[in-house]
């Protein structure tokens, strides 16, 4: 990739994450996307600094196929951190995790436990760039990218991590057991309690899972208010 397209990508990334204010001294926020403004407001300076330091990452081959680096979104002081496996097509286009139909469902679930992606919740993925055709992350990609997630977790210091989906669960826990088994235990991820539940996309595909997922999120709500 030549220098010009690298710079263009960087500027596009900055705009996605922080809106137009970083580009122009005269600030005109009227036309800025409300979500992007909200993202920017809720990124603490440490997270912004960290994001800026890695958003041009070339550590694995996904750098050459991504449209956008997807850092994460939410409250930098969140007590709940949700982690998916990797950005999908819409996330890659928008530069934000969990958008589209599954993102809407996730927002609905969060509202049901009196939370939102900007209040008390931070959402990220294990990988910051989309694997082609939404394939599962490769071990080599996880090796390169997981340290970024660990740094995010250190900065946010959540009380609880919820891993969304079997792939996220098995990637974080380094174990290949069925989701049902992963759901039944409270795990530990680098000193932070970790619960595994269904990915919202799985709930859309199979509404029968919704009852179990709702039980999980009720448990999450109760755990956080202990
Ligand atoms: S997936 Fe992670 S390691 Fe790979 S290029 Fe993106 S940020 Fe870097």
pLDDT in tens, 12-68: 655 544 444 443 333 434 344 454 455 445 458 899 999 999 999 999 999 999 999
Residue 176 corresponds to which tokens in the numbers above? 């290949």
Q: What is the pLDDT of residues 201-212, one digit of tens each?
A: 999 999 999 999
pLDDT band at 8 (very low <50, low <70, confident <90, very high): low
Residues in contact with 193: Cβ distance below 8 Å, sequence separation at least 6, in sequence order: 159, 160, 161, 186, 187, 223
Domain boundaries, the chain: 3-224
Q: Name the β-bridge partners of 122.
A: 74, 81
d(CA 74, CA 106): 13
Q: What is the pLDDT of residues 95-144, one digit of tens each?
A: 999 999 999 999 999 999 999 998 999 999 999 999 999 999 999 999 99
pLDDT band at 10 (very low <50, low <70, confident <90, very high): low
CA of 111 from ligand 1 middle (Å) equals 31
Q: Whose CA is closest to atom 4 on ligand 1?
A: 60
Q: Whose CA is closest to atom 5 on ligand 1?
A: 63
CA of 221 from ligand 1 middle (Å) equals 32
Q: Indicate the SS3 state at residue 195.
A: strand
Q: What is the pLDDT of residues 170-222, one digit of tens each?
A: 999 999 999 999 999 999 999 999 999 999 999 999 999 999 999 999 999 99
- Asked whether the whole model's pTM tops 0.75, one would answer yes
Ligand 1 contact, 192 CB (< 6 A)? no
Q: Indicate the SS3 state at residue 177.
A: coil
CA of 131 from ligand 1 middle (Å) equals 10
Q: Indicate the SS3 state at residue 187.
A: strand
d(CA 149, CA 77): 15
Instruction: Tell whether the model's pLDDT for residue 168 goes beyond 60.
Output: yes
Give the model's pLDDT for residue 147.
98
Atom number in ligand 1 closest to CA 144? 3
DSSP conformation letters of 80-135: EEEEESS--HHHHHHTSSS-HHHHHHHHHHHHHTT-BTTBSEEEEESSSSPPGGGP
CA of 71 from ligand 1 middle (Å) equals 10
Residues in contact with 206: Cβ distance below 8 Å, sequence separation at least 6, in sequence order: none
Ligand 1 contact, 124 CB (< 6 A)? no
Q: Whose CA is closest to atom 2 on ligand 1?
A: 145
Ligand 1 contact, 59 CB (< 6 A)? yes
Token match 């705009």: residue? 15
- What class, spelled out in words, does domain 3-224 have in CATH? alpha beta
Question: How open is the CA angle 43-88-8, to the nearest 5 degrees?
Answer: 60
Residue 39 corresponds to which tokens in the numbers above? 């993202």
Ligand 1 contact, 129 CB (< 6 A)? yes
Residue 16 corresponds to which tokens in the numbers above? 């996605």
Q: Whose CA is closest to atom 6 on ligand 1?
A: 129
Using an 8 Å Cβ cutoff, are 157 and 56 in contact? Answer: no
- Count of helix runs (H) and strand runs (E) in the chain: 10, 6
Instruction: Tell whether the model's pLDDT for residue 6 goes beyond 80.
Output: no
Residue 115 corresponds to which tokens in the numbers above? 């939370």
CA of 178 from ligand 1 middle (Å) equals 27
Dihedral angle computed from the Cα positions of residues 72, 76, 80 and 81, in that order, rounded to the nearest 10 degrees: 20
Which candidate, 118, 117, 11, 121, places its Cα nearest to that of 69?
Answer: 11
Ligand 1 contact, 141 CB (< 6 A)? yes
Q: Whose CA is closest to atom 1 on ligand 1?
A: 129
Give the model's pLDDT for residue 32.
43
Give the model's pLDDT for residue 44.
81
């Amino acid at each position: 990739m030549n220098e010009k397209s690298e710079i263009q990508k960087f500027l596009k990334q900055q705009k996605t994450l922080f809106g137009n204010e970083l580009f122009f001294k005269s600030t005109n926020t009227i036309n800025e996307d409300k979500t992007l403004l909200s993202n920017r407001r809720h990124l603490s300076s440490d997270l912004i600094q960290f994001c800026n330091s890695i958003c041009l990452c070339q550590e694995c081959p996904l750098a050459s196929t991504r449209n956008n680096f997807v850092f994460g979104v939410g409250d930098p002081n969140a007590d709940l951190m949700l982690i998916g496996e990797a950005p999908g097509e819409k996330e890659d286009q928008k530069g934000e995790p969990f958008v589209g139909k599954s993102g809407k469902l996730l927002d609905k679930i969060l509202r049901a436990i009196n939370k939102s992606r900007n209040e008390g919740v931070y959402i990220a993925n294990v990988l910051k760039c989309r694997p082609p055709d939404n394939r599962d992350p490769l071990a080599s990609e996880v090796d390169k990218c997981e340290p970024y997630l660990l740094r995010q977790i250190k900065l946010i210091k959540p009380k609880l991590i919820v891993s969304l989906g079997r792939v996220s669960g098995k990637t974080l826990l380094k174990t290949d057991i069925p989701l049902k088994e992963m759901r039944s235990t409270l795990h530990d991820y680098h000193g932070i309690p970790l619960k595994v539940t269904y990915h919202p996309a799985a709930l859309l595909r199979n509404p029968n899972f919704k009852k179990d997922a709702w039980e999980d999120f009720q448990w999450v709500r109760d755990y956080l208010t202990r």
